[in-house]
Amino acid sequence: MWCRSLGLLVIFLLGISTSYGQGSLLERRIRLENQKYTAEQLLQLIENEGITLNYSGKLPEDTLYPGKSQLKVKKILSLVFDTSRYTFIQRNEKVLVIPTVRKKGYTFSGYVEEEGSKERLIGVNIYLQDYNIGTTSNEFGFFSLIVPDNVPAKATVSFIGYENQTLIVSPGDSTKHDILLKQQSHYLDEVTVEANQLVAQLTQMSQFSLSPAHLAHAPAFLGEADIIKSIQLLPGVQRGSEGSTSFLVRGGDQDQNLLLLDGVPVYNASHVFGFLSVFNSDALKSVELTKGGFPARYGGRLSSVLEVNMKEGNMREFHGAGSIGLLTSKLTLEGPLVKDRTSFMISGRRTYLDLILKPLLEEAGDNAGYYFGDLNFKVNHKFSRKDRLYLSFYTGRDKLYSDNVNFQWGNYTSVLRWNHLYSNKLFGNLSAIFSQYRLSLKYDYIFGFTGTSARSQFQSLVRDYGLRYDFDYTLNARHQLKMGLSATYHTFKPGALMIEEPSQTLDSLINFTPSIYSTDVFAYAEDNWQINARWKINYGIHLSSYFTESKPFLFLQPRLSALYLLNDTWSLKGSYAYMKQFVHLLASTGTSLPTDLWVSSSRRVPPQNSHQLALGTTYNMDGSNWEYTSEIYYKYYTDLITYKDAATRAFLYNWENQVLTGGLGRSYGWELLVRKTEGRTTG
C-alpha cells in the first residue's frame, strides 16, 4: 500500500518539476541592447541562450526597437509573432510557435446616430485597431464590419465635430449595435485623434467632406453662408467666373460636375445670377466632393461628384432657427411627428430685393424687380430597425421681371427612398427620383415702323424620372462590396421659341426644337479589399448603356484605387478611372443670364470621355488634427463638344448642326492641401 502511495508521490513531484521546467524557458529573461532589431535577430538572441525554436512561415520584415531592457522570451516572441494568430508552447527543451486555430469571426454592424436628435450620421469612421481594419457609415448611417476572431474587440468611432467613442464589441453584439455620438462643446480643448481611422488609412483619394460642424462655418456672401464658396477654396477647384457659384474641377468644364441633392441630380445650382447656390446651409447635413479616383458607383460626369444630403429632422425635440440677412431671410423648423418614429425638417428662404426696391422703381415709373426663393422639405418614418422610409423634395425659383419682360428659371427635385436591412451584412436602398430644370422667357415688344405689338416666348427644359437600387454587402473581414442598378428616363427640350401677334400666330416665325428622349441604364460593382496590413485597393466596373432615338451606346468603365501604408499616419495612394458623359451643357457667352442649354448625346454628338490618373500621399501628424495631402493628376479628354463660334446661341433650331464635336483635351497639375480638422481653430 505504501509503495503505491510512494509511486503516486513521485509522479506528482515529477509533474511539478515538468511544469516548472516548461514554464522556465518562456519566462527566462534575455538582455537587449538599445538598438534596432530585425525579427530574425531577436529570434537568434533566444537561440543563443540554448533554446530551440520551432516555427514556420515568413518572418515580418519590419524593424523593431524594443529599447534597452531585459525581456522574457514570451514577450520577445510576441513582438515577432501576432499573439492573436500564434500560440507559444514549450515541449521539453523546445519552444513551439503554433498557429492558433481560430473560430469563425462575427459581424459588428449597426447605425451611427447623433445623441439627442437621433439623426443618422454619414461618413463616421469605425475602426478596429487590433486588426487594422475599418469602414465608414454610408449615406444612411449604416456600417458593417467582420471581426476576424470570435473574441471581444475594441472599436473606435470618430467623426469631426463629435466626441470620439471607444467600444468593446463581443460576438453577442452581432445582431444589434447602434452607436450614439455626442456633439463636442465649443469650449472643449482640442481633441487628440488616436486609434481612429485617419485619412491616410482610407483608400479613397481626391475627396473632401464637410461635416455639420464645417457647414456651420461656411464662407458667407452678404451674410448668407454658401457651401459652393467653400468648395471653390479647395485645391484643384476654380470659380467658373468672378463671384459665381459655378466651379471647374481639375481643368474640366462646369457641366462635368454631377451635383446630387439626396441622390437626385440638380441641373442648375445658382441663384442671383450665380452669386449664391441653391443649397441652403441651414437645411444640410453633409457635403462631399469627389474630384478623382471615382469608385464604380459614380458615373455620368467627367470631373467631379458633389453629394449634398439634407437633414432628416430631430426625432425627439422641436427646434427652430431663423435669420435676417442683407440679402435673404430664412426659417428652419424640425422635430418629431411621432417621437422616435417619425420626424420632419422644413427650411425656406427668400430674398426681399423686390420688396425693398419696389417703391423706388414705382416712383420712377418702372415696374421691375427680381427675387428668388426656395424650400427644402424632408420627412422620414422608422417602421422598424430594419426598415425606414424617406421622402424629400426641393423647389426653387428665380424671377426677373419688368413691364415687358418675364424671365424665370428654377429646379424641382423629389425622391422617395426605402432602405432595408436584409441581414447584419447586407443593406439595401431603393430610390425613386424626379428632377426638373425649367427656364422660361417672355418678352413683349412694339415694332417701331408699324406700331404693332408682338410677344416672343422661349422655353428650355430637362426632366428626369429614375429608379435606383443600391446594396452594401460585407463579405468578410477583408472585402466590403457595393453594387447596384439604375435606370433614368430623360426628356430634353433644348429650346422652343414662338413669336405671336395679338391677331394671329406668325407660323413663319415659329422656331421650334423638338424634344429629345433618352434612357440611361447602368449597373456597377465594386470591392474595397484589404489585402494585408499595408495594402488596400478599391476596384470595380461601371457598365453603362444609353439609348437615344438615333443610336444606342454601351460602355464598360473600369475603376481602380490603391493605397500603401508606410505607417499608421502616412500613406501613398494612386487611382485610375475611365469616365463617360452622355449629357452636355451648351454654354452661351456674352450674357450672365442662365440661358445655357442641356442636350443629349446622339448619333452626331457622341458621349464625352476621359481617362484620369492620380498619385498622391497623405500624412496625419501624429497626436494632432493636422492633415497634409499632396496629389498630382493627369486627365485626357476625347469627344468634347462646343459651339461653332463664340456668339450667344440661346435660341437654336437644330442645335446638332451648331456644335463642333470630337474635341481633344488634357489637363494636369499638382495639388497641396493642409487642413486642421479639430480644435478651437479649424480650416
Contact assessment for residue 205 and residue 215, using Cβ atoms and an 8 Å cutoff: no
- Determine the Cα–Cα distance for residues 618 and 206; give it in Å rounded to an integer: 10
Task: State the cell numbers at 77.
Answer: 516572441
State pLDDT tens for residues 356-399: 777 776 666 667 888 899 999 999 999 998 999 999 999 999 99
Q: Vertex 213, ends 424 and 338: CA angle to 5°?
A: 55
One domain for residues 121 and 184: yes
Q: pLDDT tens-digit profile of 444-468?
A: 776 655 656 677 777 889 999 999 9
Check residue 409 and give its pLDDT. Answer: 92
pLDDT in the model for residue 655: 73
Residue 242: predicted pLDDT? 59
CB atoms within 10 A of CB 577: 26
Residue pLDDT, tens place only, 233-268: 899 999 876 556 689 999 999 899 999 999 999 999
The reply to whether 41 and 187 lie within a common domain is no
Q: What is the pLDDT of residue 361?
A: 67
pLDDT at residue 648 tops 60:
no
Residue 502 has a pLDDT of 56
Per mean pLDDT, which range of 68-72, 181-185, 188-192, 259-263 is the poorest?
188-192
> Is-contact 598 648, C-beta < 8 A?
no
At 65, which CATH number?
3.55.50
Say whether both 65 and 116 belong to one domain.
no
How many residues make up the chain in this entry? Answer: 683
pLDDT for the residue numbered 611: 97
Give the whole-angstrom CA distance, residue 334 versus residue 281. Answer: 14
d(CA 589, CA 462): 20
Same domain? 472 vs 579: yes
Closest CA to 635 of 678, 665, 674: 665
Residue 171 lies in a domain: yes
Confidence check: pLDDT of 13 > 60:
no
Which residue from 269, 217, 206 is spatially nearest to 240, judged by alpha carbons? 269
Decide which of 197, 232, 264 is a domain's last residue: 197
**Helix 73-80, helix 39-47: angle, nearest 10:** 160
Domain end, chosen from 197, 225, 245, is at 197
What was the pLDDT predicted at 323? 87
Q: Are strands 237-239 and 247-249 parallel, antiparallel or unpaired?
A: antiparallel
**CA 578 centroid distance within chain:** 19
Q: What letter would DSSP give residue 172?
A: G
Give, in degrees to the nearest 5, the angle at Cα 610 between 613 and 263.
95
Range from 49-58, 78-87, 143-152, 363-372 that averages highest in pLDDT: 143-152
pLDDT at 557: 97
615 and 647 in a single domain? The answer is: yes
**69 and 116 inside one domain:** no
The answer to the question of residue 230 being in a domain is no
| Average pLDDT of span 183-204 | 55
pLDDT at 65: 62
CA atoms within 13 A on the CB side of 438: 12
Among candidate residues 29, 35, 34, 20, the one with its CA nearest the CA of residue 73:
29
Is 431 inside any structural domain?
yes
- Total number of domains constituting the chain: 3
| Comparison of pLDDT for 639 and 30, the residue scoring more | 639
Give the residue-averaged pLDDT of 262-288. Answer: 90
Show the CA angle centred on residue 399, arms to residues 443 and 453, nearest 5°.
15
Q: Give the separation between CA 309 and CA 259, rounded to whole angstroms.
A: 11
State pLDDT tens for residues 107-165. Answer: 888 999 998 888 899 889 898 877 778 888 998 899 988 888 777 888 899 887 788 89
Q: Which DSSP letter does residue 195 get?
A: S
Q: Give me the pLDDT at residue 446, please.
A: 65
pLDDT mean across residues, the chain = 82
The residue range of the domain holding 471 is 304-676
**Residues whose CB falls within 8 Å of the CB of residue 60, separated by 6 or more in sequence, listed in order:** 39, 80
| Whether residue 401 sits in one domain with residue 526 | yes
Please state the φ and ψ torsions of residue 130, each to the nearest 5 degrees. Answer: -65, -25
Q: Which candidate, 390, 316, 321, 327, places its Cα nearest to that of 354?
A: 327
Mean pLDDT of 167-194: 65
Which pTM was predicted? 0.80
Task: Say yes or no: 172 and 92 in one domain.
Answer: no
What is the structure's pLDDT at 499? 60
Band of pLDDT at residue 47, cut at 50, 70 and 90: confident
Between 133 and 419, the more confident residue is 419
Residues 506 and 441: their CA atoms lie apart, in Å, by 18
Statement to judge: residues 77 and 119 lie in one domain: no
Q: Is 115 helix (H, G, I), strand (E, B) or coil?
A: coil
* 16 is a domain residue: no
Rounded-to-integer distance, Cα 91 and Cα 95, Å:
6
Residue with more model confidence, 3 or 312:
312
Residue 210 lies in a domain: no
Give the pLDDT mean for 26-54: 82
Residue 214 lies in a domain: no
Residue 469 has pLDDT above 60, yes or no: yes
Indicate whether 83 and 111 sit together in one domain.
no
> Residue 623: its pLDDT value, please?
57
pLDDT at 451: 59
One domain for residues 26 and 66: yes
Lowest mean pLDDT among 11-15, 64-68, 134-138, 264-268: 11-15
CATH code of the domain containing 118:
2.60.40.1120
- Above 60 in pLDDT, residue 312? yes
d(CA 29, CA 26): 8
Residues 419 and 383 in one domain: yes
pLDDT for the residue numbered 191: 35
- Could you tell me which residues come within 8 angstroms of residue 464 by beta carbon, excluding any fewer than 6 positions away? 265, 433, 434, 435, 436, 488, 489, 490, 491
Mean pLDDT lowest among 39-53, 227-241, 494-508: 494-508
- For residue 459, give Cα distances in angstroms to 443, 496, 511, 532: 12, 5, 11, 57
DSSP 8-class letter at 423: S
Residue 209: pLDDT band with limits 50, 70, 90: confident
Q: What percent of the chain has pLDDT over 90?
A: 38
Assess if residue 262 is contained within a domain.
no
Residue 46 lies in a domain: yes
- Which of 50, 67, 99 is a domain's end point? 99
